[in-house]
Structure 1
Amino acid sequence: MQEAIPQIFGDKELAKVIEAILMVAPEPVASVDIANALDIADDQVEAALTQLSAEYERDERGFELREVGGGWRYYSRSSYDPFVSQFVSGSRMQKLSQAALETLAVIAYRQPVTRQKVSSIRGVNVDSVVRSLQARGLIESAGETASGATLFQTTTEFLERMGLRSLDELSPLAPHLPHRDELSELAQSLEK
């Protein structure tokens, strides 16, 4: 038998309940979802989230509470990134291969995009890489083209891992692309 949830929370109790929910959530949680689950007003949850975030900042905890990907989630404090990176690289956590990173970048910037288009851009078959990215929850199906080819797009998990609120925060590609003059020079040098 499930225990009844109290309907009235004091500020401290609400903060603890929110912490407990965020600790088990596999993805960012919207304040409205917490409010609905607790049957309380969204503005009450928003105030508690903002207060918790400020409290963690004031206490300079090793973690922080951030709003990303349409919800709230805990992250390690950026000043501790070197230590976290050392732990992660020394652990058995699997990193993305260069092929996976390149494929993910193409999908992120060209979405929705077909596997064939990604293969064309990269110049190699990306079938296994796309399956791997799907299994990791970084990309998902975004429907089909008129010919039946599956379109792919990035997921909320991708935004979360990148620390982005939306795709609009992706860095522009133009500064990283070669200029037309450089491309002409490269083409000429390859013809020789």
Structure 2
Amino acid sequence: MVVDEPATETHLAKVLERTPREVADALHELADEYTVQGRGFELRRVAGGWRYYSRASHAAAVEAFVLDGQQARLTQAALETLAVVAYRQPVSRSRVSAVRGVNCDGVMRTLLQRGLVEEAGAEPETGAILYRTTNYFLERMGLRGLDELPELAPFLPEAEAVEPDSLEGVPSFDPDAPDREDDDKTEV
């Protein structure tokens, strides 16, 4: 209950002077026991470790108590930017802006301040800083890893069939790209 990020089985085993297997078995047993007893909290495996959470049925009361008067929600722009980073990471700010069609500098600063994204090196060709999501992001989303992100296909608008690796049909936000409108014009 005192850790600021999920505790790994290995770390707990070291501190408790037990084998990782013993710790893992005990954690699973505790998690099951808390669920059966209907406790107000639960022990969950997230972001590569274990952490206590308020049970979903009690979340509204806990949230009201903890946040009393605080704003905890992300804006629509922040959610969109976070989604682009999550699905395309590591990714530069300019690429995120290109995908969203608007400048995202301010939103990226907010996500950095909230600890949801972090720097992940630099792009070799341009030197642009690359960003990725953090373990805190995984924790807040209740995910064990990025492989648990939902598939995007069901949320995309239906379009003509395009090869998966093709950029055909994807609008370009590159100012140096040729103007495609000229292709559609017919001389009279």
Q: Residue 154 of structure 1 aligns with which residue?
A: 133
What CA distance in whole angstroms lies between the structure 1 residues aligned with 2:74 and 2:96?
A: 17
Counterpart of 1:20 in structure 2 is: none
By percentage of residues, which structure has more helix? 1
Percent identity of the aligned residues? 54
> For 2:10, which of 32, 39, 47 is the aligned residue?
32
- Structure 2 portions without partners, runs of 5+: 161-168, 170-188
Deviation for aligned residue 1:135:
1.3
- CA–CA distance in structure 2, aligned partners of residues 89 and 175 of structure 1: 34
1:96-107 aligned at under 5 Å gives the runs 96-107=74-85
Structure-1 residue corresponding to 2:153: 174
Q: Residue 152 of structure 1: CA displacement?
A: 0.7
Number of residue pairs the alignment of both structures matches: 162
**TM norm structure 1:** 0.76
Q: Which runs of 5+ in 1 are unaligned?
A: 1-22, 185-192
Q: Given the superposition, is the C-alpha separation of residues 174 and 61 from structure 1 closer, same or farther in structure 2, using an over 3 Å criterion? A: same
Residues 144-175 of structure 1: per-residue CA shift (max 9 Å, x gap): 11121111111111111001111111111111
Q: Which of 42, 49, 61 pairs up with 2:20?
A: 42
- Which residue does 2:144 correspond to in 1? 165
TM-score relative to the length of structure 2:
0.78
Distance 1:51 1:164 in 2: 20
Give, in whole Å, the separation in 2 of the partners of 1:106 and 1:75: 27
RMSD of equivalent CA atoms: 2.3
Q: Which digits, 9 at most, give the CA deviation of each residue in 1:77-98, with x for residues without a partner? A: 1233444455567531432111
